[in-house]
Amino acid sequence: MAEQQFDLVVAGCGVAGLSAAVAAAEAGAKVAVIERATRDERGGQSRYTEAYLRMKSLTEVTDDFETHLAENGSGAIDPELVEEAVHSQRGALAKALSIADPSVIERLSAGAGETIAWLQGMGVRFDFLPTQFLTKSQPRLLPVGGGAALVEALAARAEQLNVRFFYETTASALQQDADGRVVGLKVRTRSAGTQLLGGQVVLACGGFEGNAEMMTRYVGPRSTYLRPVCKGGYYNRGEGIAMGLDAGAAASGDFGSYHAEPVDPRSGIAEPSIFIFPYGILVNLEGRRFTDEAPGTVDAYYERVTRRIYEQREGTAWVVLDARHTRIPNYRLGIRTDKPPVVGDTLSQLARKIGVPADALEATVNEYNAACAEGEWRPLELDGLATRGLAPPKSNWATPLTEGPFHAYPIISSNVFTFGGLKTDASARVVDGDGEPIAGLFAAGETAGIYYRNYTGATSVLRGLVFGRIAGAFAAASRS
Predicted local confidence at residue 306, as pLDDT: 98
DSSP string, 423-441: -B-TTSEEEBTTS-EEEEE
CB atoms within 10 A of CB 198: 16
Q: What is the DSSP letter of 174?
A: E
Please check the confidence at residue 264 and state whether its pLDDT lies above 80. yes
C-alpha to C-alpha distance for 446 and 468, rounded to whole angstroms: 11
Q: Who contacts 362 (Cβ-Cβ below 8 Å, separation ≥6)?
A: 347, 348, 351
Predicted local confidence at residue 78, as pLDDT: 64
Residues pairing with 2 in the sheet: 195
Predicted local confidence at residue 440, as pLDDT: 98
* CB-count exposure of residue 161 (10 Å: 0-12, 13-18, 19+): middle
Predicted local confidence at residue 342, as pLDDT: 98
Note whether 34 and 186 are within 8 A (CB): no
Q: Residues of the chain with pLDDT > 90: what percent?
A: 87
pLDDT digits over 367-393, tens only?
A: 999 999 899 999 999 999 999 999 999
Predicted local confidence at residue 299, as pLDDT: 93
Please tell me the CATH superfamily of domain 2-257+419-477, with its number.
FAD/NAD(P)-binding domain (3.50.50.60)
Please check the confidence at residue 292 and state whether its pLDDT lies above 80. yes
pLDDT-derived band at 33, boundaries 50, 70, 90: very high
Q: Which of 3.30.70.20, 3.40.50.300, 3.90.700.10, 3.40.50.2300 would CATH assign to domain 261-414?
A: 3.90.700.10
Predicted local confidence at residue 453, as pLDDT: 87
Beta strands in 114-168 (DSSP E): 126-127, 142-143, 164-167
Measure CA of the first residue to CA of the last residue in the chain; give whole Å. Answer: 24
Segment 78-84 shows an average pLDDT of 63
pLDDT-derived band at 114, boundaries 50, 70, 90: very high
Please check the confidence at residue 91 and state whether its pLDDT lies above 60. no
Predicted local confidence at residue 201, as pLDDT: 98
Q: Residues of the chain with pLDDT > 70: what percent?
A: 95
Determine which of 98-102, 106-110, 280-284, 473-477 has the lowest per-residue pLDDT on average: 98-102
Segment 281-287 shows an average pLDDT of 98
Note whether 94 and 85 are within 8 A (CB): yes
pLDDT digits over 223-259, tens only?
A: 999 999 998 899 999 999 999 999 999 999 999 999 9
What is the maximum span of the chain, computed from C-alpha positions, in angstroms?
A: 75
C-alpha to C-alpha distance for 472 and 204, rounded to whole angstroms: 11
Predicted local confidence at residue 472, as pLDDT: 98
pLDDT-derived band at 53, boundaries 50, 70, 90: very high
Note whether 413 and 309 are within 8 A (CB): yes
Predicted local confidence at residue 119, as pLDDT: 98
102 or 379, greater pLDDT: 379
Helix (H) or strand (E) holding 474: helix 460-477
Please check the confidence at residue 437 and state whether its pLDDT lies above 80. yes
C-alpha to C-alpha distance for 473 and 454, rounded to whole angstroms: 31
pLDDT-derived band at 191, boundaries 50, 70, 90: confident
> What number of residues does the chain have?
480
C-alpha to C-alpha distance for 375 and 400, rounded to whole angstroms: 11
C-alpha to C-alpha distance for 446 and 444, rounded to whole angstroms: 7
C-alpha distance from residue 392 to each of 205, 388, 389 (Å): 40, 10, 9
Note whether 8 and 200 are within 8 A (CB): yes
C-alpha to C-alpha distance for 35 and 15, rounded to whole angstroms: 12
pLDDT digits over 312-356, tens only?
A: 999 999 999 999 999 999 999 999 999 999 999 999 999 999 999
The 3-state DSSP class for residue 92 equals helix
Segment 160-182 shows an average pLDDT of 96
C-alpha to C-alpha distance for 350 and 408, rounded to whole angstroms: 8
Please check the confidence at residue 358 and state whether its pLDDT lies above 80. yes
Segment 34-49 shows an average pLDDT of 93
C-alpha to C-alpha distance for 185 and 204, rounded to whole angstroms: 13
Predicted local confidence at residue 138, as pLDDT: 86
C-alpha to C-alpha distance for 309 and 315, rounded to whole angstroms: 6
Please check the confidence at residue 28 and state whether its pLDDT lies above 60. yes
Segment 38-49 shows an average pLDDT of 93
DSSP string, 231-289: GGGGG--SHHHHHHHHTTBPEES-TT-EEEEEE-TT--SS--BB--GGGSEEE-TTS-B
C-alpha to C-alpha distance for 240 and 246, rounded to whole angstroms: 10
Q: Would you list the domain boundaries of the chain? A: 2-257+419-477, 261-414
Please check the confidence at residue 476 and state whether its pLDDT lies above 60. yes
C-alpha distance from residue 380 to each of 330, 385, 388, 439 (Å): 10, 13, 22, 51
Note whether 18 and 468 are within 8 A (CB): yes
What global pTM score does this model have? 0.94
Average pLDDT over the chain reads 94
Helix (H) or strand (E) holding 348: helix 347-354
Q: What is the DSSP letter of 135?
A: S
C-alpha to C-alpha distance for 383 and 376, rounded to whole angstroms: 8
Predicted local confidence at residue 71, as pLDDT: 86
* CB-count exposure of residue 185 (10 Å: 0-12, 13-18, 19+): buried
Please check the confidence at residue 73 and state whether its pLDDT lies above 90. no
C-alpha to C-alpha distance for 19 and 22, rounded to whole angstroms: 5
